[in-house]
Amino acid sequence: MASISTVPIDKLLLDPSSVLRKPVNVISPKRRKCPRERFVQSMENLAIPLGQSEKRLRLYGAGGDGAMDSENATSSAERVRVTVRVRPPTRVEQREEDGPPFIFLDTEKNTVILRRRGSFMDFTEFQFDAVLPPTALQVDVYNMAARAVVLDVLNGYNGTIMAYGQTGAGKTYTLSDNLTNGGGVTSVGGIIPRSAAEIFDRAGLDQDYEFHVSMSYIQIYMEQIQDLLRPESCNMQIREGMNGVYVSGVEEVQVKSVEDTMKLLMLGDRHRCLSFTKLNAHSSRSHTIVILTVEKKAKYKTSEQKAELADRRRVSSCFVESERVLVGKLFLVDLAGSERLKKSGSEGIRASEAMSVNLSLTCLGKCISARADPAITHVPFRDSKLTRLLQESLGGNAKTSLVINIAPCSEYLQESMSSLHFGSRAMKLTTQAVVNVEEEFRVLTRNLQETVNLQDEKLQHLEASVLSKDEQLVQAQQSLAEKARQVELLREEQNRFNHKFMEQLRVKDESWKNRLENVRSSATNIHQKRIENLQDELTRLKNAENQYALSRPTHVINNNAAKDLAAQIIQRAYKQHYVAMLYKEKKKLEVVVGYQLMANSAVRVLKGIQLLDELFTRKNFPKLSLR
């Protein structure tokens, strides 16, 4: 289908005003005889309306929505769809790019015409399924190159969307730009966020089917496959199973929303091998593949629901009879760009990476050439990990769409030319996609696996709780032993104290006993002595009595006389006492009288002085009175 033609220079007169700065020129081959007009076509007119792009995509053959019907299950050969996208020139490119234009796009005929470098004669024309100018929006690219494949994947087909082109041509931008948005798709969102959004939107709207979407993310770096969602898994092996090739042991993570998908992509991107080169500040040093697996299963449970569904879908109920699961796999391949070491300035490890990338891209080119040529029977898929993995996408069970990214500057003309050649070769490839129907066992297996995982988790929880209980038990035992030890210590302490107390008590007891004994003995002694003294006194009194009895006069004293005598003695004593007192008073009186006499004479002296004083005083008065 692809046609390459060399256009003579006289048929393509160049308009000097239409240089690349304004930007890539668009020509209409039908009107080649009016060159002036054909170069001034505005790029703004080139944004492709959605309806049109959908119509074009139908050529390629979207599966429609009757996914469960058996017609879809039959394979039909389809050509790989190729879209060319020219990115806008950077500021530097705009500044540096002068001279006549070298690239012409015709979005009507979907042709790209390249003028060979340094030649005004040689033009090479390519035709593709779609050609997108620099003004094309991300949504246009998605609609033109990806949407149909995504819809097919939702219906159980395998699909591959692949970006090819030199480093810096816009592959990563086309596929996965604006991942950092963290979820929602924005106007600059690339094919990956848009595909995920389409899948989840459609799955959410479909009342009859339930969808299960899982995602894997791998990179091929220096011919080694690494799981970007589990980066410790490097050098993973490719195996071949009933459903084609697959990466053994790759992590498949269930995703339930666009946000989940974006989070995983951002997670994977952290381990992606990127580095700075002169051609691109974030040059991919590896090929990356995002794999979205969509499983679709009818929700119906009863035969009435089944009949209703068949009626609604306008298919025979036998087509919705068995509990089948449609499994579509979407491969989103961001190829590392080919690069010339001279231009990229890569050295050392960067140069090795570039060589490894170039080698695998050469191998990809060889496989495509071989597959495109019916005469060649051997296709060297096994020569590189990339071609081995893309084996199905390059002519097997897959619907494949290729985006060729082009940089719009003459410096990369050779690379652009080679990319366009690659694209036009790819247009010759046909694939044989079939609906992948798997019996319920896949779901059962997954459910079983989920149950096993759940049980495992429960078991782990139980084990953890048993372990923690064990630990608690051990701790309790330890604390019990500690408590017992403390009790033992306390008991010993108490015994020691008891013993000491008893000892002290015993000592005290003995000392009290001794004291009591002493007190008792001393009391007894005193008592004894008193008795003895009393006895002595008694004896003495007895003796005295005896003596008195012996010496007692014979006559009895008259009591009254004695009394009188006694009274006389007392009177005498009183008399003596009063006389002594009177005598003392007399002495005192004599002193007082003495004092009285002295006072009288003093008064007389005082009176004499007063008289003298008056006398002297009066002597002066008459003089005074005479006056």
Sign of CA dihedral 452, 455, 459, 465: positive
The DSSP element (H or E) to which 227 belongs, if any, is strand 224-227
Site string for Mg ion, 521-550 (x = CB under 5 A): ------------------------------
Closest by CA to 320, choosing from 67, 72, 64, is: 67
Distance, CA of 151 to CA of 18 (rounded, Å): 39
Report what 88 binds from ligand ADP, Mg ion, none; CB cut-off 5-8 Å by kind. Answer: ligand ADP
Tokens in use for 284?
């991919």
CB atoms within 10 A of CB 350: 18
Q: How far is the CB of 334 from Mg ion (least distance, A)?
A: 6
Q: Which stretch binds ligand ADP (CB under 6 A): 199-207, 282-290, 431-439, 555-563?
A: 282-290
Q: Are 231 and 221 in contact (CB under 8 A)?
A: no
Query: How is the chain split among helix, strand and coil, in percent rounded to 5?
Result: 55, 15, 30
Q: Are 163 and 74 in contact (CB under 8 A)?
A: no
Name residues contacting ligand ADP, limited to 342-381 (CB under 6 A): none
Q: Which stretch binds ligand ADP (CB under 6 A): 232-240, 279-287, 325-333, 514-522?
A: 279-287
Tell me which of 72, 138, 143, 172 binds Mg ion, using CB under 5 A. Answer: 172
Tokens in use for 106?
């015709």
Q: Which stretch binds Mg ion (CB under 5 A): 146-154, 163-171, 285-293, 314-322?
A: 163-171
Is position 168 an interface residue for ligand ADP (rule: CB under 6 A)?
Answer: yes
Question: Which residue number, 87 or 171, has a Cβ lying nearer to Mg ion?
Answer: 171
Distance, CA of 351 to CA of 339 (rounded, Å): 10
For β-strands 430-433 and 287-298, DSSP reports them as unpaired
Q: How far is the CB of 120 from ligand ADP (least distance, A)?
A: 29
Mapped onto helix, strand or coil, the DSSP state of residue 264 is helix
Point out the residue whose Cβ comes nearest to ligand ADP: 170
How remote is the C-alpha of 131 from its chain's centroid? 44
Sign of CA dihedral 527, 528, 533, 534: positive
Question: Which residue number, 47 or 274, has a Cβ lying nearer to Mg ion?
Answer: 274
Question: Which residue number, 284 or 424, has a Cβ lying nearer to Mg ion?
Answer: 284
Tell me which of 169, 250, 291, 394 binds ligand ADP, using CB under 6 A. Answer: 169
Task: Mention every residue, 6+ apart, whose C-beta is less than 8 A from residue 456.
Answer: none
Question: Which residue number, 151 or 169, has a Cβ lying nearer to ligand ADP?
Answer: 169
Name residues contacting Mg ion, limited to 24-63 (CB under 5 A): none
Q: How far is the CB of 28 from ligand ADP (least distance, A)?
A: 23
Question: Which residue number, 169 or 291, has a Cβ lying nearer to Mg ion?
Answer: 169
Site string for Mg ion, 279-308 (x = CB under 5 A): -----x------------------------
Question: Which residue number, 280 or 431, has a Cβ lying nearer to Mg ion?
Answer: 280
Is position 101 an interface residue for ligand ADP (rule: CB under 6 A)?
Answer: no
Question: Which residue number, 153 or 290, has a Cβ lying nearer to ligand ADP?
Answer: 290
Tell me which of 36, 282, 312, 542 binds ligand ADP, using CB under 6 A. Answer: 282
Q: How far is the CB of 415 from Mg ion (least distance, A)?
A: 14
Is position 283 an interface residue for ligand ADP (rule: CB under 6 A)?
Answer: yes
Tell me which of 216, 344, 405, 431 binds ligand ADP, using CB under 6 A. Answer: 405
Distance, CA of 95 to CA of 347 (rounded, Å): 28
Tell me which of 280, 360, 393, 431 binds ligand ADP, using CB under 6 A. Answer: 280
CB atoms within 10 A of CB 225: 24
Is position 338 an interface residue for Mg ion (rule: CB under 5 A)?
Answer: no
Tell me which of 25, 110, 158, 167 binds ligand ADP, using CB under 6 A. Answer: 167
Report what 400 binds from Mg ion, ligand ADP, none; CB cut-off 5-8 Å by kind. Answer: none
Q: How far is the CB of 13 from ligand ADP (least distance, A)?
A: 29
Q: How far is the CB of 371 from ligand ADP (least distance, A)?
A: 24
Closest by CA to 415, choosing from 141, 138, 129, 170, is: 170
Q: How far is the CB of 171 from Mg ion (least distance, A)?
A: 5
Q: Which stretch binds ligand ADP (CB under 6 A): 45-53, 168-176, 390-398, 540-548?
A: 168-176
Q: Render 123-144 in DSSP notation, one character per residue.
A: EEEEE-SEEE-TT--HHHHIII
Report what 41 binds from ligand ADP, Mg ion, none; CB cut-off 5-8 Å by kind. Answer: none
Q: Which stretch binds ligand ADP (CB under 6 A): 167-175, 211-219, 244-252, 310-318?
A: 167-175
Is position 173 an interface residue for ligand ADP (rule: CB under 6 A)?
Answer: yes
Q: How far is the CB of 165 from ligand ADP (least distance, A)?
A: 5
Q: Which stretch binds ligand ADP (CB under 6 A): 62-70, 276-284, 463-471, 563-571?
A: 276-284
- In eight-state DSSP terms, residue 48 is P
Tell me the residue ranges of DSSP E strands in 373-531: 399-406, 430-433, 437-438
CB atoms within 10 A of CB 113: 23
Q: How far is the CB of 255 from Mg ion (least distance, A)?
A: 23
Tell me which of 79, 171, 329, 425 binds ligand ADP, using CB under 6 A. Answer: 171
Q: How far is the CB of 456 from ligand ADP (least distance, A)?
A: 41
* Distances 579 to 78, 564, 567, 587 between C-alpha atoms, Å: 175, 22, 18, 12
Rounded to 5 degrees, φ, ψ at 422 are -60, -45
Q: Render 521-573 in DSSP notation, one character per residue.
A: HHHHHHHHHHHHHHHHHHHHHHHHHHHHHHH--SSPPPHHHHHHHHHHHHHHH
Q: Are 47 and 366 in contact (CB under 8 A)?
A: no
Tell me which of 127, 143, 172, 387 binds ligand ADP, using CB under 6 A. Answer: 172
- The half-sphere exposure of 464 on its side-chain side, counting CA atoms within 13 A, is 6
Point out the residue whose Cβ comes nearest to Mg ion: 172
* Distances 116 to 28, 74, 178, 407, 420 between C-alpha atoms, Å: 19, 45, 35, 15, 13
Q: What is the end-to-end Cα distance of the chain in Å, rounded? A: 179
Q: How far is the CB of 131 from ligand ADP (least distance, A)?
A: 14
Question: Which residue number, 156 or 365, has a Cβ lying nearer to ligand ADP?
Answer: 365
Rounded to 5 degrees, φ, ψ at 103 are -130, 130
Name residues contacting ligand ADP, limited to 299-338 (CB under 6 A): 337
Report what 111 binds from Mg ion, ligand ADP, none; CB cut-off 5-8 Å by kind. Answer: none
Binding site for ligand ADP (CB under 6 A): 87-88, 165, 167-173, 280, 282-284, 337, 405
Binding site for Mg ion (CB under 5 A): 171-172, 284
